[in-house]
Amino acid sequence: MPTYVTAEADTSELPKVVAEGPPKPSLNLSGSPVKRSRIGDLPMRVIYRILAVVTAVVVAAVAAVAGLMYSGSSDQPGEEASGPIAAPSAATPSPGVGSPGPSPSGSASPSLSPSPSPTVSAARAPGRSAAVVAALSDPRVPGMPRGKRLARLPGKEHKAKLRLQDAKSGVSLARLARPWKTYGAPPFSTKQVLPKVKGGVTRAMFVSCPVPIKVQDTPEETALLAARWTLNHHPKGSTIAWTASQPVEDGWLLAYRVKYKIKAKARFSMAAVVVTEVPGAARPAMVFVTIPDAQRAYWRDINTAVASVRLR
């Protein structure tokens, strides 16, 4: 029988497979682990968003700095940024009485200035006295009226057969028929009135006296101041609207509508004032008549009253 000889081959041990653990972090000189950046681990869309936000912040900061630099001298409240100063006109007129001052912006363009009102224009006219300027600056009084004759007012004409003598003023005037009657004169020289209207505040009257205001250079201006003074005998807040302005013998006549309110209701009176020079008298004579709308049936008596003024 054959004999089998078992041969043992040279064998060596297989290397052991050992699973390695996670890499140990690097240590710095102090022994603490070195921190590594995680940017590389971020998705690209996140990086783009971060860059967009940073860009927006930078742009806003630049705009804010530019705005501060542009504002310059206008950083005070209520101030405007200074601009180029316009050269003054070669012949700038000096402002007269009642004329507006220079524009705050220094502009010389007349289109930027409001057109003056009639009252201001009249007040700025050369030769006006301080009293006339004050009267024309009064919001109750419009500008100097243009020439216009007194029209025949509505109502029944009452012919006056008698006359009153005003020794203080140096004139005579009609004594109006009933229901007009003479009344206590002060502060006037003569006074005639109509009976009071029930519930009325104003009263019709026809009076005369030396002018109670400063005499002006012309009868027209004296009449203007006299008409303004007569507002003292109308309700508070009354205003004037001219209806006539005409010369009379040695004087001037102004007629006007006096507007006011009584218990919040608009009312008015028709009125007229005559100023006339009296030879040898220290002051001109003034004749004043006013009749409220509640007694409009007697408005024609205004024509009779002003036409009756005569030197004594």
pLDDT tens per residue across all 312 residues of the chain: 444 444 444 444 544 544 455 555 554 444 555 444 455 555 666 666 777 776 776 666 656 555 544 444 333 333 333 333 333 333 333 333 233 333 333 333 333 233 333 333 444 566 789 999 999 999 999 998 889 999 999 998 888 889 999 999 999 999 999 999 999 888 999 999 999 988 777 899 999 999 999 999 999 999 999 999 999 999 999 999 999 999 998 999 999 999 999 988 999 999 999 999 999 999 999 999 999 999 999 999 999 999 999 997
Please classify residue 194 by burial: count the beta carbons closer than 10 Å to its beta carbon, then call 0-12 exposed, 13-18 middle and 19+ buried: buried
Whether residue 258 is contained in a domain is answered as yes
Instruction: Tokens for 164, please give them.
Output: 């009153």
Q: Would you say residue 28 lies in a domain?
A: no
The rounded distance, in Å, linking the Cα atoms of 153 and 105 is: 52
Domain count, the chain: 1
CATH number at residue 300: 3.40.1000.10
Q: What is the distance of C-alpha 201 from the center of its chain?
A: 31
Torsion of CA 30, 31, 32, 37, to 10 degrees: 90
Residue 70 lies in a domain: no
Structural domain includes residue 207? yes
Domain with 298, as residue range(s), is 162-311
148, part of any domain? no
Whether 101 is in a domain gets the answer no
Q: Name the nearest CA neighbour of 143 among 217, 218, 224.
A: 224
Task: Indicate whether 194 belongs to any domain.
Answer: yes
Q: Burial-class residue 225 by CB neighbours within 10 Å (0-12, 13-18, 19+).
A: buried
Contacts of 283 (CB under 8 A, 6+ apart): 210, 211, 215
Can you list the alpha helix ranges (DSSP code H) found in 72-214?
Answer: 118-123, 130-136
3-state secondary structure 91-110: CCCCCCCCCCCCCCCCCCCH
Quick check: is 65 in a domain?
no
